[in-house]
Structures are given as C-alpha cells and as structure tokens.
C-alpha cells in the first residue's frame, strides 16, 4: 500500500513537472514574440544583440518603420 502511494505521488510530481515545463516554454515564447503578428519583439532583439557582441562577429542592422502602412 505504501509503495503504491509513493508511486502515485511520484507520477503526480512528474506530471506537474511536465506542466510547469510546458507553461514555462509558453511564457518564454510570449516574452519574445508579439502575439498578434508573431514577430520577435525588443526583448528578443536585445538578447540576440548581446549574443552577437559576445561572439565578436561582424554584423549589420536595418531598421524599418511600419507604422505608416
């Protein structure tokens, strides 16, 4: 009986871990992506820019203003 209870609790913990991992992935995606357009936002830009600066590779940046469209 005790072993069955332990196994049940262990399964519950594993399920909760899976749910937390799924929700974490969703929240992380939401923090980098505009939900309406699916385009990366400023947070993703900053993270990518930091990674490029750490690697010290040549790069170029183009900026577009889409408000007038």
- Give the range of the structural domain holding residue 28, as residue numbers without chain letter: 2-55
| Listed residue (18, 39, 14) closest to 29, CA to CA | 39
**DSSP β-bridge partners for residue 33:** 40
Residue of higher predicted confidence among 33 and 59? 33
CA gap 57, 23 in Å, rounded: 34
CA distance 6 to 27: 31
31-56 confidence digits (pLDDT tens): 999 888 889 999 998 998 898 889 98
Whether 28 maps to a domain, the answer reads: yes
Task: Please check whether residue 20 lies inside any domain of the structure.
Answer: yes
SS3 33: strand
* 69 is a domain residue: no
Residue 67 counted as domain residue: no
In a domain, 60, yes or no: no
Contact status, residue 32 vs residue 44, Cβ threshold 8 Å:
yes
This prediction has a pTM of: 0.60
Looking up tokens 């995606």 gives: 29
Q: What is the pLDDT at residue 63?
A: 84
pLDDT at 26 over 90: yes
Percent of the chain with pLDDT over 70: 97
Does 65 fall in a domain?
A: no
Number of domains in the chain: 1
pLDDT mean across residues, the chain: 90
Whether residue 33 is contained in a domain is answered as: yes
């Amino acid at each position: 009986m005790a072993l069955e209870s332990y196994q049940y609790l262990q399964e519950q913990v594993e399920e909760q871990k899976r749910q937390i991992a799924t929700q974490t992935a969703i929240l992380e995606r939401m923090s980098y992506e505009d939900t309406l357009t699916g385009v990366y936002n400023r947070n993703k830009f900053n993270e990518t820019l930091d990674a490029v600066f750490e690697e010290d590779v040549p790069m170029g940046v183009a900026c577009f203003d889409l408000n007038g469209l």
